[in-house]
Amino acid sequence: MNTTLLIPTLNEIDGMKAIMPRIKREWVDQIIVVDGGSEDGSIEYARENGCSVLVQKTKGLFNAYREALEIAVGDIIVTFTPDGNSVPELIPALIKKMSEGYDMVVVSRYLDGAKSYDDDAVTAFGNWLFTKMINLCFGGHYTDTLVGFRAWKKELFKLTRGDTKIKSFEPFSVIKCAKLKLRVGEMPGDEPKRIGGVRKPRPLVNGLQVLWQIIVELFTRE
């Protein structure tokens, strides 16, 4: 199965210069950098290094995925942030685990001794709380439901049904996989501190969005 590495960016030039050279082109069939409107040279850097670059028409990470999937050739999508939070050397192992028949594999920051070095008290508690809620409400067995570093079958995105109210694919996808009894695996992976730039998530806003998604799915029949 072909694999597309999907890299969302928004003013991540410092992280890109440190992380992108560590990504081996032979690991995947396609690399797409989907940019939300960078003004720090991220777009130019990606193009200079031979990456396919798609500049988003609509803001937001969910829309970045949606627009990029229109040109993705991979049956398997690996989502990866170039800000230093994702370890590129884990990509081959992630793809290999997907070949074992999973619909999605999550690189968990809290499995088997893995650790997030970028968490603060609020983000750590939020991920713990929402992971517990998703497991309880939908019968999941996850240790990390919010991390973006993961691999998934491209066809999973069809579960969104074009719903523009979805703000984050990560919690949406694990909830849907649990409800539909799809096969989801995890593998441990540390989350280093970000390199430069500004952290994009807003804990209160993003937390309310995840909570709303959980509530919606509780009352949604497949």
DSSP code string of 106-167: EEETTSTT--BSS--HHHHHHHHHHHHHHHHHH----S-SS---EEEEGGGGGGGTT-TT--
Q: In the prediction, which pLDDT does 206 show?
A: 85
Instruction: Kindly indicate the confidence band of residue 222, based on its pLDDT and cuts at 50, 70 and 90.
Output: low
Separation CA 25–CA 28 (nearest Å): 6
Please give the CATH number for the structural domain made up of 3-218.
3.90.550.10
Res 17 pLDDT > 90: yes
Q: In the prediction, which pLDDT does 204 show?
A: 80
Q: In the prediction, which pLDDT does 221 show?
A: 76
Res 164 pLDDT > 80: no
Q: In the prediction, which pLDDT does 220 show?
A: 83
Q: Which residue has the higher pLDDT, 203 or 20?
A: 20
Q: In the prediction, which pLDDT does 163 show?
A: 84
Separation CA 171–CA 173 (nearest Å): 5
**pTM for this entry:** 0.93
Could you report the per-residue pLDDT of 109-151, keeping only the tens digit for each? 999 999 999 999 999 999 999 999 999 999 999 999 999 999 9
Q: Which residue has the higher pLDDT, 50 or 107?
A: 107
Which residue in 221, 123, 131 sits closest to 170, CA to CA? 131
Q: In the prediction, which pLDDT does 207 show?
A: 87
Could you report the per-residue pLDDT of 91-111, keeping only the tens digit for each? 999 999 999 999 999 999 999
Res 89 pLDDT > 90: yes
Lowest mean pLDDT among 23-37, 44-58, 187-201: 187-201
Q: In the prediction, which pLDDT does 196 show?
A: 84
Mean pLDDT over each residue of the chain, to the nearest integer: 94
Q: In the prediction, which pLDDT does 162 show?
A: 80
Separation CA 30–CA 28 (nearest Å): 6
Separation CA 106–CA 156 (nearest Å): 14
